Amino acid sequence: MRNLKVMAAYRGTAYHGFQRQSNAVTVQEVLEKALSKVLNEPITITGCSRTDTGVHANQFCFNVKTSSKINCLGFCRGVNGELPDDVSVLSCEDVPLDFHARFDCKGKEYVYKMHCSESKNPFAADLMLHYRRKFDVEAARKAAQYFVGTHDFSSFCADCTNVSTTVRTIYSFKIEKSGDSVIMLVKGNGFLYNMIRIMVGTLIDVSEKRLAPDDLNRVFYSEEEMLGETAEQS
Amino acid sequence: MRNLKVMAAYRGTAYHGFQRQSNAVTVQEVLEKALSKVLNEPITITGCSRTDTGVHANQFCFNVKTSSKINCLGFCRGVNGELPDDVSVLSCEDVPLDFHARFDCKGKEYVYKMHCSESKNPFAADLMLHYRRKFDVEAARKAAQYFVGTHDFSSFCADCTNVSTTVRTIYSFKIEKSGDSVIMLVKGNGFLYNMIRIMVGTLIDVSEKRLAPDDLNRVFYSEEEMLGETAEQS
């Protein structure tokens, strides 16, 4: 038995996220179908993470256990030959049998891109948010620093019913501007369902002055504060 | 009567180039249809250039004469509202009546992008050439310098029957590498049909050692040399 660590990239537009679902086409399903053909055995892969519907990946790690003796270059060529144009494997290497793409993941970096201009960008269709106003990068940068650290992100989650904890650590939150583009680079140990989109939406509220940057200081309560508040209200 | 100078961008994938044709959909036709609606009169635009089938544009200048009194911001909003997702107007300004997008054009810059990797890039589909081998940037840079200057580019033209001269001036030819991407930036006073693609193909020949960089020295003959050679052969 071997364990292969594989890096993949995909354009998520046509998929209902990464994770296999019974009633919708997902990236995992497409990858497993291609791998099963090339490795000539039924395949289940372990992804480093789930991604939401429509989210793309530049560097997505998964691992797969196989009894196939195929070499890594042959694996990549064969799998890419079976994959549609919007999914690609980038590299493959043998790793120890106990390597687990999700449990051994040290962190994740999300990139959120905005095209900030009155006119639409014909090249950004499903790759960037089209934001028709001027984005206040300085205010957003100031506000975004409140996201950095370990917090309970339950107010930044669209549906937290399936997670054991809503505490996550954001290592860094950078905002870069280049021409009409604003690029947000967010590193963390994990992200909740829609968490990035809700954080970006909050920064848009800051840019549009519905929130002041320092208002984000009050978004995260410590557990004691929350208990205290509940007590006061009861 | 007013004369408007308009900057546009388009994804050329779905179009048979810029210039209006009777039997195929072109960017000019789509722009003229949108402008006619917004300006409420039949419109013919003058493009700075023609682009080949499938070629995209980041900054394409055209001018249009109109009797409409619409302001420039309203013009952009209105036209963008009528245009499909793959064509966009970026800006608009009033210019003197004698401004002509083609005759007053001072130069053009083409950008040719290659994705150089065994694996395909899911985000590059119709935007970059997928080149599966290592591209020899140094050799290509050396060779490309022979393109710079004023030459008869008739051997770099797919069909030269409709042009009065095949002499063109290349101001600069830069090749940049970033990760798996190779970007060629070519500035010139004009380009013949398929000229960029044929120049890139020649540089691929250099990268694959079918041509040495210095062989490009011999691609351009002066008029005297050509006459001399013909005389020797006869």
Cα(B115)–Cα(B113) distance, integer angstroms: 7
B114 in Cβ contact with B135 (< 8 Å): yes
- Is the model's pLDDT at B201 over the cut of 90? yes
Which of B85, B120, B128 is the best residue to mutate to test the A interface, defined by the most A CB atoms within 10 Å of its own CB?
B120
- Residue-wise pLDDT for B202-234, tens only, equals 999 999 999 999 999 887 764 445 444 444 443
User: A108-233 in CATH: which number?
Assistant: 3.30.70.660
ipTM above 0.85, yes or no: no
Instruction: Give Cα separations from A165 to A84, A168, B187 (angstroms).
Output: 36, 8, 56
- CATH code of the region B2-95: 3.30.70.580
**A103 at B interface, C-beta within 8 A:** no
Residue-wise pLDDT tens digits, B11-20? 999 999 999 9
User: Does residue A233 have a pLDDT over 60?
Assistant: no
Which pLDDT score, from 0 to 100, does residue B233 have? 45
Which spans in B1-106 are helix H? 27-39, 72-82
Flag whether residue B123 sits within 8 Å of chain A, measured between CB atoms.
yes
Q: Mean of the pLDDT values across residues B79-105?
A: 96
Annotated catalytic residue B152? no
Residues A181-199 pLDDT 10s: 999 999 999 899 889 999 9
What is the mean predicted confidence (pLDDT) over B10-35?
Answer: 95
Using the Cβ of A121 and the Cβ atoms of chain B, whether some distance falls under 8 Å is answered with yes
A158 pLDDT band (50/70/90 cuts)?
A: confident
Please report the residues numbered 18 through 57 in chain A whose beta carbons come closer than 8 angstroms to any beta carbon of chain B. 56
**Domains in chain A: boundaries:** 2-95, 108-233
Residue A231 confidence (pLDDT): 46
The radius of gyration of chain A's CA atoms, rounded to the nearest angstrom, is 20
Least-confidence region, from A21-25, A149-153, A156-160: A156-160
- In this prediction, residues B41-66 reach a mean pLDDT of 95
Tell me if domain A2-95 and domain A108-233 are identical in fold: yes
Name the region of B82 (left: φ>0; alpha: ψ -120 to 50; beta: rest): alpha
What value does the mean pLDDT take over residues B87-109?
96
* pLDDT of the residue at A221: 60
**A162 band by pLDDT with thresholds 50, 70 and 90:** confident
